[in-house]
Structure 1
Amino acid sequence: MKISTQFDAGAITVMAADNFENIRLRLRPDNASEFKQWFYFRLQGAGYEHCILTIEDASEAAYPEGWEEYEAVASYDRVNWFRVPTRYENGQLIIEYTPLSNSIYFAYFEPYSSEQHLNLLGQAQGSGLCQIDDLGSTVQGRDINLLTIGNQAASDLKVWITARQHPGETMAEWFIEGLLSRLLDSQDPTSRTLLDSATFYIVPNMNPDGSALGNLRTNAAGANLNREWGNPSIESSPEVYYVREKMHEIGVDLFLDIHGDEAIPYVFVAGTEGVPSYNARIQGLENEFKKALLAASPDFQTEYGYEVDQFGDANMTLATSYVGHTFECLAYTLEMPFKDNHNLPDVDFGWNGQRSLRLGEAMLSPILAVLPTLR
């Protein structure tokens, strides 16, 4: 029996792997911070054996409430992922499963690899509708790429979408893949109408270093990018620094920041009610956007989510707060679950890459709904 992690986003610490029914593991923290929750590893030599894998320090994870009603994902081919029996008890996460092949992968959520990211960029560019620009380099020298889709006319509305500031939230890039597939479809009437009057600026992966390293929440320098928007630096948070500079150069009329939430088993949005510039116009846009998204996707709901900030109490280091206030625009954080979506449960797959992708496709409808009133 062998457990390995030497591949893109691999992360786990092996304590003992000499007994199929007593495999002992520990979470591996982000490379330069204390955050830990993401895991992704390969188990070999256990075909048809009853395996009990125990993550001993699950209670020390960044979000231990994320383990309640959670099931890990597994795959034999890293293409088709499914949920496996998992329970959280006495501070430990226990996965109990009998592999049907000698090689199987387990992960916190369906991964989105660096190779998939590069393929996504290539496919987008190959459409003939997308321009790729390099904004700068990450701490470890990876590319920070911006996708521009539209005519870039001076009169165009400017729609910005960023994803995966937190690298372990891989559902965010699955979402972008779905959104791009529809936006770049020249036969889609919603896409065509949008691109008649808007240009889209999309960053599919804000944190390429953290993604490759198998981090949950931070970049290679240990920075939580979604707490860097107030004062980013080239040294510790170049990803935010370069994207923010480009936003100031181009302008923003609508901003969506795509995330995943460990604990809340729903799809929801968080707005800018707490920023100093929040007003009745933005509130009206928020309500119109949510109404249209409810119509576009039964996966979305508005009953459950984060507690709404009181006016003036927003954390201005968050992307949505900073951008919404600075550009006085509609800005939303979209959150998807790591668990199943209680709004529309799926016992076999839970919330997964394909459902994130479909939500990305659906997102064009509420954008179209608010487009005429964004300015």
Structure 2
Amino acid sequence: MKISSNFDAGSIDVVAINGFEDIQLRIRKDNASDFAQWFYFRLQGAAYETCRIRFLDIQHTAYPKGWEGYQAVASYDRVNWFRVPTYLDGNELVIEHAPLAGSIYYAYFEPYSHEQHLNLIGMAQSSGLCQVSDLGSTVQQRDINLLTIGHEVESDLKIWVTARQHPGETMAEWFVEGFLTRLLDSQDPTSRALLDRATFYVVPNMNPDGSVLGNLRTNAAGANLNREWLSPSLETSPEVYHVRNKMLETGVDLYLDIHGDEAIPYVFVAGTEGVPSYSPRIAELEEQFKQQLKVASPDFQDEHGYARDQPGAANLSMATAWVGNQFQCLAYTLEMPFKDNDNLPDDDTGWNGQRSLRLGEATLSAIYGVLKAIR
């Protein structure tokens, strides 16, 4: 029996393997910070054996409440992922599962590999509707790519979408895949109507280094990118530095920052009610967008989510707050669950890549629904 994680986004520490029913692991911290929650590893040599995989000391992970009601995902081929029996036992998270083959992968959520990321960019470019540009390099010299879809004329609305500031939130790039696939479909009437009036700027993965390293929340320098927007630096947060500069160049009329939440089992948004420039116009736009997204996707709801910021209390180092305040525009953080959507549960998959992708497709309808009111 063997456990390995030396591959793209792999992450686990092996404590002991005392037999199939006593596999002891520890969730590894991000490479340069204390955040720990993401895991992704391969188990070999345990076919048809009931395995008891124990994650030790989970109260020391970043989001202990994220383990309540959580079910891990597994795959034999890294394409088809399913949930496996997972439960809390004191200070341990336990997976009990009998693999049906000699090689199986377990992960915190359905991964989105760097190869998939590069393939997504290639797909977008080959559509003939998308321009790929290089904004700069990450700490480890990976590319920061921007996808531009539209006519780029002055009269166009400027719509920005960023994803995976927190690299372990892989559902965010699945969302972008669905978003782009529909937007680039020349036979889709909603997409055609949107591109008649708007140019889209999309960063599918803000944190390629952290993604490859198997980090939950930080880049290779240990920076939480979603706390860097007030004063990013080329040394520790070049990803935000370059994207922010491009936004200042183009302007922003609508912004979506795509994330995943460890603890809350719903799809929801968080707005900019706490920023200094918040106004009745933005409040009305926020409400319109939420109503449009409810119609577009029954997966979305607005009863459960984060507590609203008090006026003037927003953290302007966060992307949505900084962008919304800087450009006085509609700006939302969109959150998806790591667990399942309790409003529409699926016992086999929970929330997964395909459901994230479908939400990305549906979000275009919500954008179209508020398009005439944006500016």
Shared fold (TM-score greater than 0.5)? Answer: yes
Distance in 1 separating the partners of 2:157 and 2:257: 17
Query: Cα distance, 1:126 vs. partner?
Result: 0.4
Taking the TM superposition and a 5 Å limit, the aligned residue runs for 1:1-375 are 1-375=1-375
2:282 aligned counterpart, secondary structure: helix
Q: Which amino acid aligns with 1:304?
A: H
TM-score, normalization: structure 2? 1.00
Tell me which amino acid in the other structure corresponds to 1:187: Q
How many angstroms does 1:89 deviate by? 2.2
Structure 1: how far apart are the matches of 2:295 and 2:50?
45
Cα deviations by residue, 1:251-274 (Å, 9 ceiling, x for unpaired)? 000000000000000000000000
In the alignment, residue 225 of structure 1 is paired with which amino acid? L
* Aligned partner letter, 2:368: L
Deviations 1:175-222 (A, max 9, x none): 000000100000000000000000000000000000000000000000
Higher mean C-alpha deviation, range 209-218 or range 364-373: 364-373
Given residue 331 of structure 1, which amino acid in structure 2 is its aligned partner? Answer: A
Amino acid at match of 1:291: Q
Secondary structure at the residue paired with 1:336? strand
User: Which letter does structure 1 place at the counterpart of 2:269?
Assistant: V
5+ residue gaps, structure 2: none
Whole-Å separation in 2 of the counterparts to 1:57 and 1:205:
30
* Whole-Å separation in 2 of the counterparts to 1:279 and 1:91: 46
Paired AA for residue 170 in structure 2: T
| Deviation for aligned residue 1:18 | 3.5
Structure 2: how far apart are the matches of 1:356 and 1:53? 28
1:343 CA drift (Å):
1.0
* Deviation at residue 17 of structure 1 after TM alignment: 1.6
Q: Alignment partner of 1:131: what SS? A: strand
Distance, in Å, in 1 between the alignment partners of 2:93 and 2:55 is 5
Task: Tell me the amino acid that sits aligned with residue 17 of structure 1.
Answer: I
Q: Secondary structure at the match of 1:363?
A: helix
For structure 1, the residue ranges without an aligned partner over 5 or more in a row are none
CA distance, structure 2, for counterparts of residue 50 and residue 58 of structure 1 = 22
Deviations 1:201-248 (A, max 9, x none): 000000000000000000000000000001000000000000000000
Counterpart residue identity of residue 59, structure 2? S
Q: Which amino acid aligns with 2:279?
A: N
Number of residue pairs the alignment of both structures matches: 375
Q: Distance in 2 between matches of 1:50 and 1:296?
A: 42
Distance 2:342 2:90 in 1: 25
Structure 1 stretches of 4+ with a deviation exceeding 3 A read none
**Separation in structure 2 between the aligned mates of residue 86 and residue 219 of structure 1, nearest angstrom:** 29
Please list the CA deviations of residues 265-313 of structure 1 after superposition, one character each: whole Å capped at 9, or x if unmatched: 0000000000000010000000000000000000000000000001100
Deviations 1:295-332 (A, max 9, x none): 00000000000000011000010000000000000000
Structure 1 CA distance, aligned partners of 2:342 and 2:130? Answer: 36
- Measure the CA separation in 1 of the matches of 2:96 and 2:336: 26
- What is the CA–CA distance in structure 2 between the aligned matches of 1:62 and 1:160, rounded to whole Å? 29
Aligned to 1:210, what secondary structure does the other structure show?
helix
Shift of 1:373: 1.1
Give, as a single letter, the amino acid of the residue that structure 2 aligns with 1:337.
P
Taking the aligned partners of 2:103 and 2:66, their CA distance within structure 1 comes to 27
Q: What secondary structure sits across from 2:345 in the alignment?
A: coil
Q: Which amino acid aligns with 1:283?
A: A
Q: Give identity over the alignment, percent.
A: 73
Give the match's secondary structure for 2:335.
Answer: strand
